[in-house]
Structure 1
Amino acid sequence: MTGQIMSAEQVPSKGKLTGWHVLLIMLGFFGVMFAVNGVFLYHAITSFPGEDVKKSYLQGLDYNHTLEAKAAQDQLGWSAAAGMVGSDLVFDLTDADGNPLEGYQVTSELRRAASTAHDQIVEMEPLQSGSYAVNLSDLPAGRWDVQFQVIDPAGDDILFRADKRIVITP
């Protein structure tokens, strides 16, 4: 039997993977990873509006006061209903017996979940029979979270809070 023996000198050098090639491949891979992560990091930082609730740490420390206010609201027995009537946001307030409550200052805080750009607090106008309304025709269409606050006419105490999610259509 005749056989050929190849030595290392006879192996073609074209396409040979060397240590330098592996180093360049690894540097290229991690370079692309860092560049993509940098783009993601930039967009995450520039698009996040920041803390959604003002002074959330202090609110957490004062949570017992929040619970006391909620218990006081529950003792009133008031109920509320809210919704869109055309381009008006209407809020109806009744006492424990179902009688309409009039003469209160009612504000509504309108917030969007996606952005704080259009968030605002508006004063609602009193109507008859415990109804309060505000025109929202200037707001962009979409889903809005509304927090209603009924304020004591004699002072600045918030007597009642109610939350509602509404949809404004174009």
Structure 2
Amino acid sequence: MSTANIKSASGDKTLKGYQVLFWLLGFFGLMFVVNGIFLFYAITSFPGEDVKKSYLQGLNYNATLEQRAEQARLGWQAAVGLEGDMLVVYLEESTGEPLTGKSVNAALRRPATTNADHEFDLISDLGGRYHANVGDLQAGQWEIIAQVRDAESSSPKFVARKTITIR
């Protein structure tokens, strides 16, 4: 068995095989520990599916396309946003007239986590304005999803989405 000689300022030192083994085990052991920590935080911080039953939605995607085509035929328009601590949705028919008397709900979602998600049933005002008090929201990016539902159908008749940033 041969040994490697390394010259240093203090003289000759011999690097032994068990020292190399300990250095390698220490290095890779540290890598496993760090990767384990990263893996733990990645798994515990990711909520999983962004959409409920996404596999079934994929199978029924033609129904989703039909709903979007029906929404386009309606020609309704929506303006969605925040006014102070109020979530406000303005709805108009294709003729430009205010859309009134509808059941509207909205969801405020964080893209990165489901911990701060909120759902609201909006209250109708005159003139196609629907609102709900959302209180103080954390700074960051939010997605607003407003849905108009008919009384006879559980699926939304109209969906409007908007991404906002709160500073």
Residue type matched to 2:57 in 1? Q
Structure 1: gaps (5+ residues) = 1-12
* Structural mapping, 1:12-161, within 5 Å: 15-161=13-159
Question: Aligned residues, how many?
Answer: 157
TM-score, with length taken from structure 2: 0.86
CA distance in 1, matches of 2:115, 2:72: 33
Residue type matched to 2:56 in 1? L
CA distance in 2, matches of 1:125, 1:70: 25
Residue type matched to 2:140 in 1? G
Is the Cα–Cα contact under 8 Å of residues 80 and 88 in structure 2 kept in the other structure? Answer: yes
What per-residue deviation string (whole Å, max 9, x for no partner) do you get for residues 38-90 of structure 1?
11111112222222211111110010000000000000111111222221111
CA distance in 2, matches of 1:114, 1:168: 15
Structure 2: gaps (5+ residues) = 1-10
Is the Cα–Cα contact under 8 Å of residues 140 and 165 in structure 2 kept in the other structure? Answer: yes
| Structure with greater Cα Rg | 1
TM-score, with length taken from structure 1: 0.85
Is the Cα–Cα contact under 8 Å of residues 103 and 153 in structure 1 kept in the other structure? Answer: no
CA distance in 2, matches of 1:16, 1:154: 85
CA distance in 1, matches of 2:151, 2:127: 17
1:9 aligns with: none
Q: Which has the higher strand share?
A: 2
For the aligned residues, what is the CA RMSD? 1.7
Task: Give the % identical residues.
Answer: 50
CA distance in 2, matches of 1:101, 1:168: 28
Which stretch of the first structure deviates more once superposed, 116-125 or 159-168? 159-168
